[in-house]
Amino acid sequence: MPALNLINVTKLFGSVKAVNKLNLEIEQGECFSFLGPSGCGKTTTLRMIAGFENLDEGELYCDGKLFSSSYKHFYLAPEKRNFGMVFQAFAVWPHMTVYDNVAFPLQIKKLSRSEIQSRTELALKATSLTKEAQLFPGKLSGGQQQRIALARAVAINPKVMLLDEPLSNLDPHLREEMRFEIKELQTKFGFTVIYVTHDQSEAMALSDRMLVMKEGVVQQIDNPLEIYNNPANKFVFSFIGLSDFIPVMVKDRKVFIEGAMENGALQVELPNTLNPALTYDIACRPGEIDFASTGITAFVLRRTYLGDVVDYLLKIGNTEIRVQKTRREAIAKAGETCHIKFNRILWYDHSEETTSKT
């Protein structure tokens, strides 16, 4: 039985369809991310799952039990859902010690003293806050304050943990470290995680599967590798990585980069599934383009060292593309021509809309 099941879930704010007919099953113990640009409906979806927003259409089940239904006008109150929640702002109570911050929700639930103590101590230990238990949050770093929020959510022993951009107030280094801590907590306690972020690398690092959304509509649901390697459309391709699309021309099923013709002849034919009468753009991840001794001719506009990775800006025909290689593979120099080979080509309809990132 799935941990969560959303059927046809829709949410309107006036004329804005914040979430539009969302169908989704999240498995028990899965780490599932909602990814997409600002305003695409991630937080609204999470708030509907939490019970803070009603559904204008659809139903939501948790462990097979009905939690929300627009048809039956039924909504289980948020506090009865027993979901752990951590949000962007460090929602810690500054006048309470770390220990009391974690124990307080358990007192509200009227658990026994010994239960409160054992759950609080376990949650503090799991989040490495045992030594800080008697301090006030103001004395702690941003990372430690966010750990208090995590400890508090862990202590209620939730089956599902809802995390909405929980790391976005932290510096990049700490942010990366905390990803692993969240993953460790999940492994240790076995809860299902729903993680909202607009940071694709965070989603990819944490998730078993993820959903990419645009304007309230699901674009793709899959595991991170599949979404990276086989994006469903131009929007997903450009949201998860760089957004270089290369217009091509097709002659007798042979494919040429527009503006480069013979110098830009691809070593592949148009796939049989595609219609030669239409126009296409190709796309290739920056790591899937190799320098070669023959092949498509390109001009190196820029070469930038980014530590272990070397980032290139190349011009082929009328198009500029990015290529990223390790230092050992970075043989082409700025201001020179080179030859390249595309390893994995993705094909998209030229007329399909791309998007800018936010």
Binding site for ligand ATP (CB under 6 A): 13, 16, 18, 36, 38-44, 198
Output 40 or 310, the one with its CB closest to ligand ATP. 40
Output 97 or 169, the one with its CB closest to ligand ATP. 169
Shortest CB 18 distance to ligand ATP, Å: 3
Shortest CB 47 distance to ligand ATP, Å: 8
Question: Distance between CA atoms of 334 and 170, rounded to whole angstroms?
Answer: 37
Shortest CB 40 distance to ligand ATP, Å: 4
Output 65 or 357, the one with its CB closest to ligand ATP. 357
Output 236 or 338, the one with its CB closest to ligand ATP. 236
Output 221 or 270, the one with its CB closest to ligand ATP. 221
Shortest CB 20 distance to ligand ATP, Å: 11
Shortest CB 198 distance to ligand ATP, Å: 5
Shortest CB 236 distance to ligand ATP, Å: 15
Shortest CB 146 distance to ligand ATP, Å: 17
Output 12 or 330, the one with its CB closest to ligand ATP. 12
Query: Rounded to a whole number, what is the distance in angstroms from the first to the last CA of the chain?
Result: 36
Torsion of CA 153, 159, 164, 169, to 10 degrees: 40
Output 39 or 247, the one with its CB closest to ligand ATP. 39
